[in-house]
């Protein structure tokens, strides 16, 4: 599996087909001089094209590099967004950062939102279980306790237990995370109940002084006060708790940030 950094331009005179076999489409946004990297796992109802402006704002406001990957079956990525595929992809990105780019784990912040909190905490738990407090930090926005618990909240415990396995056990995984940890959740969230975010926070393995719970008053699953709910508290978290170290080896160059604009799903775009 390789990573594919790519740019797409619109041409009105041609039909284009984008096929990325055996690759992971990625967006990489550099912040000059920063040694800190956010590895971002996005939510369900979007793809990397939708997320560009938001991730670019994160890079500028937090003064960090941002790398985000596309889930299989989303945007231009082939395959199916199964839990195993998503786990494989985020592990590949993490290995790319640490092995290919020589970024120390202490310089990496894992950041997941909504469904993206699943792969985020999955890989964080495995990294931290092997080497406690080795990551720079973990941020989860609107986390669920598990997919099964989330299903039960919609269809009831009987059907939830019957048809949904314990996929992405955020409650169990965060118990392995000992690095600085931040949980953000809207108190009006009607998709993932705020109680789930509180439960995930309470089960964190990080020392009390290194974990932060931000309950955002009046915010739901998709509507946020970006300045007060996201930018200011995360900037403070990174400044206070995340202590990156200098990379030991020279990093290799990778392409400049790209913007996937107006993409249709399933790798096909037709320009009229």
Count of CB atoms situated within 10 Å of the CB of 207: 12
d(CA 115, CA 1) in angstroms, rounded, equals: 23
Q: Is 189 a catalytic residue?
A: yes
The CA distance from 69 to 5, in Å, is 10
215 by Cβ neighbours in 10 Å (0-12 / 13-18 / 19+) ranks as middle
Alpha-carbon distance 36 to 212, whole Å? Answer: 20
The rounded radius of gyration (Å) of the Cα atoms in the chain is 18
40 bridge partner residues: 68, 111
What single-letter DSSP state applies at residue 106?
G
Q: Which of 189, 199, 204, 241 is catalytic?
A: 189
Question: Catalytic residue among 114, 142, 199, 219, which?
Answer: 114
Phi, psi of 66 (to 5 degrees): -125, 130
How many residues are present in the chain?
272
Contact 145, 93 (CB under 8 A): no
Question: What sections of the chain are H helices per DSSP?
Answer: 48-62, 83-95, 117-130, 147-155, 157-163, 170-173, 194-202, 232-241
Active site residues: 114, 189, 221
């Amino acid at each position: 599996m390789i990573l594919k950094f790519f740019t797409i331009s619109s041409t009105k005179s041609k039909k284009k087909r984008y096929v990325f076999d055996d690759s992971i489409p990625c967006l990489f946004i550099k912040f000059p001089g920063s040694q800190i990297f956010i590895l971002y796992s996005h939510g369900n109802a979007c793809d990397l094209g939708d997320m560009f402006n938001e991730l670019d704002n994160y890079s500028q406001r937090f003064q960090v590099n941002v790398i985000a990957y596309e889930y299989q079956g989303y945007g231009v990525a082939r395959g199916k967004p199964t839990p195993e595929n998503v786990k494989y992809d985020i592990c590949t990105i993490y290995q790319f950062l640490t092995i290919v780019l020589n970024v120390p784990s202490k310089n990496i912040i894992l950041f997941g939102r909504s469904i993206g909190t699943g792969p985020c905490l999955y890989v964080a738990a495995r990294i931290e279980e092997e080497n406690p407090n080795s990551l720079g930090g973990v941020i989860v926005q609107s986390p669920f306790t598990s997919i099964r618990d989330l299903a039960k909240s919609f269809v009831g415990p009987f059907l939830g237990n019957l048809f949904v396995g314990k996929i992405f056990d955020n409650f169990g995984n965060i118990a392995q995370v000992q690095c600085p940890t931040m949980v953000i959740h809207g108190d009006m969230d009607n998709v993932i109940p705020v109680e789930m975010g509180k439960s995930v926070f309470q089960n964190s393995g990080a020392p009390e002084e290194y974990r932060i719970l931000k309950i955002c008053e009046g915010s739901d699953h998709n509507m946020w006060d970006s300045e007060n709910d996201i930018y200011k508290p995360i900037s403070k978290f990174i400044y206070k708790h995340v202590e990156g170290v200098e990379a030991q080896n020279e990093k290799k160059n990778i392409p400049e940030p790209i913007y996937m604009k107006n993409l249709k799903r399933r790798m096909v775009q037709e320009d009229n």
